[in-house]
Structure 1
Amino acid sequence: MKKCWAFIEEVLAGTFITAGSFVILYGVVMRYFFNDPKAWVVEVSTYMIVWGVLLGAPIALRNNQHIRIDILYDRLSKSSKYVMDIFANAVGVIFCLFFTYYGLLIVLERYPSGMVSMDVGIPMWIVYLVLPFSGLLFLLRYIEKLALAVNGKGEN
């Protein structure tokens, strides 16, 4: 189950980043080789890259690849590191709860409004749907990290 979850995360994030990159390449080719710029390229590629990045954030957390300052952490005792791991992951859980909740509120506000994007006409609730979805994935990763920290299997 854990490998399946990781695979799905990687495929989703990778697909959006790759597709966004190909849309950008298409836009460059159309503009500079065929002198036929496409207005929708910037909008669609931006959405795809943002989706890819937000879906990739939980992967970075899973692999301990988020930026952090180790200079103080490395000097802590083992028991202090234990407390710090629990605290940091608990704060992450709280952040993700807010992020997911407010992301969902944005989606629910945009759905009935009928707002659409400028060039393509994509309903904006679909564009913003990545917020609660990525927030939920991020939350699950932080819960996993918190459980590991509580069991003494934190960052070390």
Structure 2
Amino acid sequence: MLRRLLTPLHRFAEAVAAALLAVIFVAFIVQITLRYLFNWPVGWTSEVSLAAWLWLVLWGAAFVLKDEEEIRIDIVAAHAGPRTRRVMGAIGALSVIVLFGMSLPAAYAYVSFMKVEKSSYMGIRMDVLYAIYLVFTVAVIARSLRQLAQLLRRPGAEDGRSPASPSVP
């Protein structure tokens, strides 16, 4: 049931990421064309590329990247027993929840403050541009809460990943 609801949302998130990548590519081609074929350098293409890249990275990390696709350095955990891995995973998830949770009010204050600034060429308000960081932060907290719940609920969940997910050596 939940998977049927989440699959279309995940596909939507992937489509948004693909659209952002397309925007970056088109802006790059337009920039090269205007600069080198018409000797008309423009700045708005760089601004569009940077804004789309920022949104692409944080949007992708928040909604597109799956838990089993994350890169984790688990040198110590790989040599520990299942119970120790669960404890280490729980401590890690709890640390992420606390640290990102503590940073959220300051991040919100900063993003809200940035409404007084606008981008140089396109006049985009900076609070709109940086709002994706707040979305990313909330998504990271939610993901870590889910991971912590899995670790506390299931004895077989050693690092918060599903039992069928691959492990990176």
Tell me which interval the TM-score lies in, with the shorter structure as reference length: 0.7 to 0.9
2:142 counterpart (140, 143, 147) = 140
Change (3 A) 1:13 1:100: farther
Q: Spell out the pairing of 1:56-67 with structure 2 (5 A cutoff).
A: 56-59=60-63, 62-67=66-71
Is residue 2:130 matched to residue 1:149? no
Change (3 A) 1:103 1:151: same
Deviation sequence 1:74-124 (CA, Å, 0-9, x none): 10101001111111111222233234333221122122x3x2111221111
For 2:125 and 2:152, how far apart are their aligned partners in 1? Answer: 42
Cα displacement (A) at 1:29: 1.9
Cα displacement (A) at 1:61: 5.3
Change (3 A) 1:144 1:124: same
Q: Which amino acid aligns with 1:58?
A: A
Q: Over the residues paired in the alignment, what is the CA RMSD in angstroms? A: 2.0
Cα displacement (A) at 1:12: 2.7
For 2:65 and 2:102, how far apart are their aligned partners in 1? Answer: 18
For 1:94 and 1:61, how far apart are their aligned partners in 2? Answer: 22
Question: More deviation in 90-99 or 128-137?
Answer: 90-99
1:96 counterpart (100, 104, 119) = 100
TM-score for both structures, normalised by structure 2: 0.79
Partner of 1:18: 22
Aligned with 2:68: secondary structure? coil
Change (3 A) 1:141 1:12: farther
